[in-house]
Amino acid sequence: MTNSVAQAGEELAGFIVRYPKLWILTGAGVSTDSGIPDYRDADGQWKRSPPVQHGDFMASHAVRQRYWARALVGFKALSGAQVSGAHKALAALEAMGYVELLVTQNVDRLHQRAGSKKVIDLHGRADTVSCMTCGYHMMRHAMHSEMAHLNPRFAALDAGHAPDGDADLETDFSDFTVFDCPRCGGILKPDVVYYGDVVPPARRLAAQAGLQNAQAVLAVGTSLMVYSGYRFCREAHGMGLPVVSLSLGVTRADAMLSHQWRAPLTPVLEEAVRCLEAR
């Protein structure tokens, strides 16, 4: 159902008071106000081509050329993004003692920059890269500097921003020089869980442990179409915990939601914080 901001914020505040140990799952919708595009529309359908598959990235040099050429243009939006009101409101909820754990499907680290401390980056982080052969680790901006030096023509291009540091760029990528591991020459990959890959077991178990101590689940800005996030809502529902959602559209978990607020994220979260502060 669609709610007014005031009504949704007040209802959300009331829910938080009833269940003050929240396990929060966030998705791309939390970062759209930071200028980072999301993948899906209000019906949960792809807005653009699905992101790169792990197997394709690892198996094909041409795929890596296309990926890194587009990233050289598009990553500026991700690295330069500022925290949104939604990030700040969720950090405020943690400071007020209402957050047992925040699990994010985003890779932008904006929750941490907003002040949230109880955070698990379920799908990793986009600001670092690692060698898939020897484990060499480096910051993403350093790798991009190397690639810009190797590919001045691509570094000078501009294109529309796409999710997770990608760009809507289509051209001939065959002469793009990929920067490989400086230690062993292996494939460098962002420390992100790509489609077709799996969340590291330790990360998944840490998220599940937090769920055991929570009183309710709040999904924010996510369609829950990706199983790695949806699974936790399903587990919580099986445990008898209330599961609620704040988003602009449908979710994969609609049938198991105790309540759903379809309203703009940032103003609703800010209104909920105001209501809680006034109690």
Q: Which residue numbers belong to the known binding site?
A: 131, 134, 181, 184
Known binding residues for Zn(2+)? 131, 134, 181, 184
State the number of CA atoms in the 13 A half-sphere of 144 facing the CB.
Answer: 20
123 assigned to active site:
yes
Dist. CA 180–CA 186, nearest whole Å: 6
Side chain identity at 236, as an amino acid letter?
A
3-class secondary structure per residue, 43-70: CCCECCCCCCEHHHHHHCHHHHHHHHHH
8 Å CB contact between 231 and 257? no
- Find the catalytic residue in 54, 87, 111, 123: 123
Other beta carbons within 10 angstroms of residue 141's beta carbon come to: 11
Dist. CA 146–CA 143, nearest whole Å: 5
3-class secondary structure per residue, 74-114: HHHHHHCCCCCHHHHHHHHHHHCCCEEEEEECCCCCHHHHH
Q: Closest Cα partner for 107 from 126, 83, 80? A: 126
CA 234 to chain centre: 19
8 Å CB contact between 143 and 125? no
Tokens, residue 277? 């502060």
Give the active site residues.
123
